[in-house]
């Protein structure tokens, strides 16, 4: 399973492990984090803060809110804080007027911490039998002095209950409680925690000890917030140790800007060759783009076989233009589907179009009645008598070879009596193919179309197309 690790406060670190994904967010780019709850481990690198030019604490508090902490820890996740967590954050007031200082750790953890500000050097490391905590051993090997320690950590029950989605009555329950268990890895000689984990957990009361104090047993334990102090090691080494020992991620650092500007021996010749290859690829891509555009244009006519509605109307008009006609687009898309003018020899032929597409096997006479209306509009508005041409595409979900004749006897009779020509869009496609092959007698095609009253006989076109292969 993919294990995701986020580091806030670092940049330029990558991992080549297919099972572990490392994502870095420098302090100035915290707002880019979309969902911190999606990570199994979140590392907050406070060691880099002194060098940070800008920190957007408002964005940070939005990204690492108490609710997202509840989602991370509630699913067994881990939040690791590297560095002094006592810092203050500058945040806007809820009222919207001015800013206020908020405690970094308490702002998002739901825990109130009591710190001991005295420095010291004597410490005791004890990982007991906890295999997880032993992962911090190498990190703490260079920890030999401190300026603070943790005396006590108390939960804010109401806030944590909401964050973890627990029963709202838990905070007032006398038998159950939400507690913060302090698990120190390293302590001062007087017992304050120098490094360790804060583990939220639900506990049940089961009795009292010899002094009358209540005793509790763990009912449910969440993930942990681990606090790691600064050590003698530098920031880079500290981050690498934690990623390797805790997350089993071996990192790879990208080139710093100053190194990226340097030229290594033999690099110049390679750069020249690489540039030539890039230019050749760019030229090839341009040729490929042009050929893909040509391919797309060449396949547009196939839409005659499957399109309906406006898509079919457009490709019918374009195909008629390819066959030599002057086709005028309709001014009103709810009326006729185009006006056709074509010159054959010294004769001018004019027609008005009705284009229909359907998933049904046959057309009814409604299309012919609409065509009659368009012919009448030609007489009234253009003062001409236009030939009515019906172009139909039926059974659009079926391959053309499996389709039946869509023009029934009544449709054919009606079209003939009205003097209209009806042609299937697949027959129009056959004529288009012959034109592209140089096998179409274009003048004959137009004469046949305009002289037909009823269904156009397209068999000759298909026969020639079959002969052409």
pLDDT of 306 over the 90 cut: yes
Model confidence pTM above 0.75: no
d(CA 227, CA 244): 17
pLDDT of 96 over the 70 cut: no
d(CA 21, CA 15): 7
pLDDT in tens, 215-264: 888 888 899 999 999 999 888 889 999 998 888 888 776 677 788 889 99
User: What per-residue confidence (pLDDT) applies to 128?
Assistant: 57
pLDDT in tens, 444-456: 999 999 999 999 9
Smallest CA-to-CA distance from 326 within 305, 353, 307 is with: 353
pLDDT of 2 over the 80 cut: no
pLDDT of 169 over the 80 cut: no
Residues of the chain above pLDDT 90, percent: 66
- Measured CA to CA in angstroms, residue 149 lies from 136, 156, 188, 255 at distances of 17, 20, 8, 37
d(CA 255, CA 243): 19
Which residues make Cβ contacts (< 8 Å) with residue 197, sequence separation at least 6? 133, 182, 183, 185, 224, 225, 226, 227
pLDDT of 25 over the 70 cut: yes
Q: What is the DSSP string of 46-97?
A: GGGGGG-S---HHHHHHHS-HHHHHHHHHTT-EEEEES-TT-EEEEE-TTSS
**109-118, 137-146, 159-168: which is most confident:** 109-118
Pair of tokens at residue 51: 């060098």
* pLDDT higher at 72 or 170: 72
pLDDT of 129 over the 60 cut: no
Residue that is written with structure tokens 């054959």 in the block: 344
* pLDDT higher at 174 or 61: 61
With bands split at pLDDT 50, 70 and 90, how would you rate the model's confidence at 16? low
With bands split at pLDDT 50, 70 and 90, how would you rate the model's confidence at 130? low
pLDDT in tens, 338-394: 999 999 988 999 999 999 999 999 999 999 999 999 999 999 999 999 999 999 999
Least confident of 107-111, 123-127, 146-150, 285-289: 123-127
Please count the residues of the chain. 469
Mean pLDDT for the stretch of residues 20-42: 92
Yes or no: domain 302-468 corresponds to CATH 3.40.91.30: yes
pLDDT of 177 over the 70 cut: yes
Mean pLDDT for the stretch of residues 285-307: 95
User: What per-residue confidence (pLDDT) applies to 208?
Assistant: 80
pLDDT of 133 over the 70 cut: no
Say if CB 365 and CB 373 are below 8 A apart.
no
pLDDT of 97 over the 80 cut: no
pLDDT of 172 over the 70 cut: no
Q: What is the DSSP letter of 318?
A: H
pLDDT in tens, 263-275: 999 999 999 999 9
Domain residue spans of the chain: 3-256, 302-468
Q: Is 198 helix (H, G, I), strand (E, B) or coil?
A: strand
User: What per-residue confidence (pLDDT) applies to 91?
Assistant: 81
């Amino acid at each position: 399973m993919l294990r995701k690790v986020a580091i806030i406060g670092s940049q330029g670190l990558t991992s080549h492990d297919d099972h572990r994904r490392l994502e870095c967010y420098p302090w100035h780019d915290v707002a880019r984090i979309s969902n911190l709850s999606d990570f199994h481990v979140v590392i907050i690198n406070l060691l880099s803060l002194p060098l940070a030019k800008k920190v957007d604490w408002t964005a940070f508090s939005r990204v690492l809110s108490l609710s997202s902490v509840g989602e991370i820890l509630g699913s067994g996740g881990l939040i690791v804080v590297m560095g002094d967590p006592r810092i203050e954050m500058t945040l806007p007031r809820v009222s919207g007027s001015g800013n206020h200082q908020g405690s970094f750790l308490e702002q998002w953890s739901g825990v109130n911490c009591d710190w001991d500000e005295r420095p010291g050097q004597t410490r005791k490391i004890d990982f007991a039998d906890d295999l997880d905590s032993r992962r911090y051993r190498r990190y703490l090997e260079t920890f030999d002095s401190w300026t603070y320690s943790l005396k006590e950590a108390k939960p804010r029950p109401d806030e944590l209950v909401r964050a973890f989605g627990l029963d709202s009555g838990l905070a007032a329950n006398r038998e159950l409680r939400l507690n913060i268990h302090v698990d120190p890895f390293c302590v001062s000689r007087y017992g304050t925690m120098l490094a360790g984990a804060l583990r939220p957990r639900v506990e049940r009361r089961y009795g009292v000890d010899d002094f009358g104090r209540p005793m509790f047993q763990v009912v449910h334990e969440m993930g942990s917030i681990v606090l790691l102090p600064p050590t003698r090691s530098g920031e880079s080494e500290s981050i690498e140790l934690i990623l390797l020992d805790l997350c089993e991620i071996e990192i790879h650092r990208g080139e710093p800007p100053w190194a990226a500007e340097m030229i290594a021996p033999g690099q110049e010749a390679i750069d020249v060759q690489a540039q030539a290859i890039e230019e050749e690829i760019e030229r090839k891509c341009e040729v490929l783009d042009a050929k893909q555009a040509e391919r797309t244009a060449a396949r547009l006519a196939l839409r005659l076989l499957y399109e309906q509605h406006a898509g079919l109307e457009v490709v019918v008009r374009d195909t008629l233009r390819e066959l030599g006609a002057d086709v005028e687009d309709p001014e009103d898309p709810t009326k006729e589907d185009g006006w056709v003018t074509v010159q054959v020899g010294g004769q001018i032929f004019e027609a008005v179009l009705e284009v229909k597409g359907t998933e049904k096997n046959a057309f009814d006479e409604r299309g012919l009645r609409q065509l009659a209306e368009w012919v009448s509009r030609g007489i009234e508005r253009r003062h001409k008598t236009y030939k009515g041409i019906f172009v139909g595409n039926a059974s659009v979900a079926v391959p053309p070879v499996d389709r039946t004749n869509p023009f029934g006897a009544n449709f054919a009779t009606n079209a003939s009596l009205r003097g209209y020509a009806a042609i299937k869009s697949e027959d129009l496609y056959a004529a288009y193919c012959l034109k592209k092959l140089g096998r179409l007698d274009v003048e004959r095609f137009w004469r046949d179309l305009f002289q037909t009253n009823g269904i156009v006989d397209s068999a000759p076109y298909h026969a020639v197309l079959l002969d052409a292969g």
